[in-house]
Chain A
Amino acid sequence: MIQLKEIDKYIESRFQRVFILKGINLTINEGEFITLMGPSGAGKSTLLNILGLLDEDYAGEYFFGDRSIKSMREKERSNLHKSEFGYIFQAYHLIDELTVYENIETPLLYRNVSSNERKSIIANLLDRFNMVAKKDLFPAQLSGGQQQLVGIARAIAGRPRVLLADEPTGNLHSAQAREIMEIFQELHKEGTTIIQATHARENADFGTRLINLVDGRIETDEVISK
């Protein structure tokens, strides 16, 4: 589904180029659950951003399906971004001024989903994550784990085929982290392609493939066998 060829990402500083990613070649098939690991600064987040079309400032080729991203027009890229990707952040990044319900609703609004359809999608999600009673609360009134549940609900509300998660459990304690990972596993079983970046080795065990990044390069790429 996704193919990266010779992806370089660097910052021009005064004396030299500092590479964040160098020579990344990666093929991701539909239905994989990939874990990106590696020390801080290894380029995990950068790779996720490039995969999610949030960062377009890189060298190399990126194919989604059989189309090159670089050959797409702005409008097509934006549509692809909207229809195929969902994001989950370490710091949850919920909008403070919106309630749980409205936070989940936001991506649907941007996709021009009709009001009735929105209601039923959100109702399903709230039900699934046991948050019906909390739908009118604001993020500040929720615990970290609950906020991340809202973050996931929001990310999958638009039914993306690819879910990108940047340290989704980084701010959570282990019981909450486990809960999140189980949800990922469930989504994976339903057919969603998941790519997560994490520091925690135990999270990788929920996935199907583990990629180790060091200094912007892929060091190892192994299949997780259960």
Chain B
Amino acid sequence: MWKNYLKVSFRNLQKRKLYTGINLLGLTIAVVSFLAISLYIHHEWSYDKMYADYDRIYRLNQEFRSDGQAQLVSSTPSSLIPTLIDEVPEVETGTLIFDISIFSTVMVDAGDGNQEEKAFAYVDENFFNVFDFELISGNANQVLAEPNQMVLTKSTAERYFGNAIAAVNKAIKIDGKDYQITGVMEDFPSNSHINFDFLASFKTHRHGKNPEWSPSNYYTYVKLKPEADPTVFEGKLGQLVDKYLGKELAEYGYQTDFFLQPVTQIHLGDQTLGAIKPGTDIRYLYIFGVVALLLIAIGIINYVNLATAEATERNKEVGLRKAMGAGRGQLFGQFVSESMLLTFASTALSVLVLYLIAPRFSSISGVPLRLELIISPIGLTMITVFILTMGVLAGLYPSLILSGMEPIKALANKTKIGGGAWVRKSLVVFQFFVSIGLLIATFVVKSQLTYMQEVNLGYEKEHLVSLSYHYSMRDGVETIKNEMLRTGAATSISRASDMPIHVKAGYKVFPGGDNQREFMITGYAVDPDILKTINLELMAGNNFSLTDIKRSDLEDGTERFPVLLNETAVNEMGWTAEEAIGKTINLGFSSNSEVKGVVKDFYFNSLHHQVSPMVIFNDPDETNVLLVKLPAGNPSDHLATLEGVWKKLVPERPFNPVFVDQAYARMYQSEQQAGVIFGLFSGIAIFIACMGLFGLVSYVALRRTREISIRKVLGATQQNVIQVLASDFLKLLSVSAVLAIAFGIWFSITWLQDFTYKTSITVWPFLISISLVFLLAILTIAYRSWKVYTLNPAKTLKTD
């Protein structure tokens, strides 16, 4: 029976090429998107689940609190893990990672010159006991047990030594220090939140020999005993804080607490400040999942619409089969097998397409498409369930309509499918609602992105380049700066602790001097050229002068240390800009600080956050980057000149210019990604929906060929004919548009809520989206009508 069903279905599909083509193309595009999104979501979901005991592994996060302000960071002191292992019975083992890329790069020399590397970390001897990454060579308990030992990943070993085994026991120099390569491991999987190229034994590091409770620069992980209760364990952390950190904290007015974060929640859970890899906002995964389902729905709707519209064509067949004794169930099987065949074909085609686009998808999304998942037993089962579900969903309604026809009427071609019309209409409305809705969402996201690019940040990020330098170059930086200025390839250069796009250092204002309030403040260590270089606006007072004392020169506690405050900081202290000048404040430095100037607020953090208080102080020795303002003209010419200076003065250090405006754009990567994905999928949705519309109009046109021919004979112009065919559909599209506007308003409000600084909601995204979709729909209808219009009425009318 099924063989017969399939045979007949296949011949039917073969016969109606337009119908099959539209359905196949629409479903394939929808399924490709669906599978790609599913694999992406699966990848993000699978993060850190590859460790044997992943359900017992936790990262310790630390929360600093002071006067109602709290900051959650994932870095902890180096003493934490040895203390936990020694003193807390719940802990089976634990490890520590020191990711030095947050401070600087390293220079690697494997015998043929220096290369700069970023992905370098110190880890302690328990690393492989907590995270059971596979070692190709070396013993997990020994590879990092002694100082100056190192484990490379496979691809790094291949890069430096040709192959993994050749690297073993070789010597390698990191920043001039000798290491022995004791092991080679498989590359870190893309779905691990840990990702380095070099792992050095922590015992090599100063803090590895003598762990301390300050600073908090290390990631701490514990593996609890199987029977241990994490809540009980977490409770004991408080006592530990009191015992070891109590005194110090009291002195600075801080409180701190440690929290457990399951390792599997690091990637998708609450994001902490500082992490090895940026996490993913789980809400975007939900949104993408919904979008994937919507696309599938649009594809299925095409099928349902075309199949029911086509039902008139198949009256005869249905009536005949009934006369020959076909039961309703048998007819049902017949039509469902047709939709099954179609969904099966499009899914098979989609897998093929996925193989072709996998490399491109991976480079755009940054996530490898693991196609082997599809052909795994679970994958195949899920695909089968997917095909069956999709086939039934698509085939159900048309089959009901077709199998429910009365045989006599069907045979006589008297059946009208008027009953199904409202279903078809609502489905069309839904399709275009989704299309227009996604398009509006795209434009809203884009306009916020444009806003973020164009908003006045309070400083100039254009033609601004950041050059990070190594602390070992500290003494020579002033020379580099002057030499660069002398070439004319830079109009102004300032040393700074960070790029202005994101200043991180946290300080605190204590009661003292003229100020009695206590609050957190961001500190920006710079030299006096900063105002000129990034063009900060001074509201009152003066800039630093070259003769001003530097923080590193503060000595006896009697001198006053000049600082600049931003507007918000001054307001926080209850002063106006003018009043603030000359006031003294206490920043916890060895001397009191004196407000020398007040700068207008600028955005030194993501636009998700409100501008907070900031203090700018003259402290060139604590800086990490040179901010270079380029003159007008081709930036690459200027950079070449600057590189010449750099290579002459510090040939051993790499010259890595970063454009500040590009770094700024990268801060909004997840928003940009969302914009791209919305854009892509709204395009796909519109395409599929328009194809469906084309198919529907074709059937309507076919049914009304005679009517149109008569109209033509009576003198109707082409425009009249288009109007006849288009008016019904445009009514439906108008309903879609109204619904989409409602959705768009809801989306704009909800999505923009996340931004403290946001674009205003205008009518444009709505207007553009709706006009675009209407235009495409009208073109689709017009093309089809034109084909009917050009038919010779003499021929079409003759048959009656």
Contact = CB atoms under 8 A, between A and B. Distances in A.
B378 interface: no
Interface residues of A, number: 21
B330 A93 contact: no
A107 B408 contact: no
Interface stretch (A15-23, A25-33, A95-103, A170-178): A95-103
A102 B7 contact: yes
A8 to B, nearest CB: 17
Contact of A110 (B12, B317, B324, B408): B324
Interface string A117-151: 00000000000000000000000000000000000
A158 B8 contact: no
A105 B1 CA distance: 11
B15 A106 contact: no
Nearest to B14: A97
A120 B4 CA distance: 18
Contacts of A102: 4, 7-8
Nearest to A49: B408
B327 A97 contact: no
Given A49-B408, A55-B408, A107-B325, A97 B11 contact: yes
A111 B326 CA distance: 8
B777 interface: no
A109 B408 contact: no
B320 interface: yes
Which residue, A97, A111, A154, has most C-beta atoms of chain B within 10 A?
A97
A87 interface: yes
B323 interface: yes
B325 A97 contact: no
Contacts of A95: 8, 317, 320-321
A35 B228 CA distance: 92
Given A49-B408, A95-B317, A97-B15, A109 B323 contact: no
B411 interface: yes
B324 A106 contact: yes
A54 B4 CA distance: 25
B316 interface: yes
Given A54-B323, A95-B317, A154-B324, A110 B8 contact: no
A110 B330 contact: yes
Contact of A109 (B4, B11, B15, B320): B4
Interface residue SS majority, chain B? helix
Which residue, B1, B4, B7, B325, has most C-beta atoms of chain A within 10 A?
B325
B620 interface: no
Nearest to A50: B408
A78 interface: yes
B63 to A, nearest CB: 71
A110 B327 contact: yes
Interface string B698-730: 000000000000000000000000000000000
B562 interface: no
A52 B322 CA distance: 12
B325 A111 contact: yes
A78 B327 contact: yes
A82 interface: yes
A49 B321 CA distance: 15
B508 to A, nearest CB: 82
A159 interface: no
Nearest to B409: A55
B323 A106 contact: no
Given A54-B408, A78-B327, A106 B321 contact: yes
Which residue, B1, B4, B7, B323, has most C-beta atoms of chain A within 10 A?
B323
A81 interface: yes
A82 B11 contact: no
A109 B1 contact: yes
Q: For chain B, give the interface size range.
A: 20 to 34
Contacts of B317: 95
B314 to A, nearest CB: 10
A81 B408 contact: no
B8 A98 contact: yes
B695 interface: no
Contacts of B330: 109-110
B94 interface: no
A109 B6 CA distance: 14
Contact of A54 (B316, B321, B407): B407
A120 B591 CA distance: 109
B326 to A, nearest CB: 5
Contacts of A93: 316, 320, 323, 411
Interface in B1-22: 1, 4, 7-8, 11-12, 15
B141 to A, nearest CB: 67
A101 B86 CA distance: 84
A111 B11 CA distance: 23
B320 A110 contact: no
Nearest to B7: A102
Interface in B323-381: 323-327, 330
Contacts of B323: 52, 54, 87, 93
A13 to B, nearest CB: 15
A110 B326 contact: yes
Nearest to A82: B325
A111 B327 CA distance: 10
A93 B1 CA distance: 21
Contacts of A158: 325
A171 B330 CA distance: 31
Contacts of A109: 1, 4, 330
A81 B328 CA distance: 14
A104 to B, nearest CB: 10
Contact of B325 (A49, A55, A98, A110): A110
Interface in A45-98: 49, 52, 54-55, 78, 81-82, 87, 93, 95, 97-98
Nearest to B321: A106
A93 B408 CA distance: 13
Contacts of B15: 97
A81 B320 contact: no
A68 to B, nearest CB: 21
B3 to A, nearest CB: 9
Contacts of A81: 325
Interface of B: 1, 4, 7-8, 11-12, 15, 316-317, 320-327, 330, 407-408, 411
Q: Give the 8 A-B CB pairs with smallest separation, nearest first.
A: A82-B325, A97-B11, A107-B324, A110-B325, A110-B326, A87-B323, A93-B320, A54-B408
11 contacts: A55-B408, A81-B325, A82-B325, A93-B411, A95-B8, A95-B317, A95-B321, A98-B11, A102-B4, A102-B7, A106-B4
Interface of A: 49, 52, 54-55, 78, 81-82, 87, 93, 95, 97-98, 102, 105-107, 109-111, 154, 158
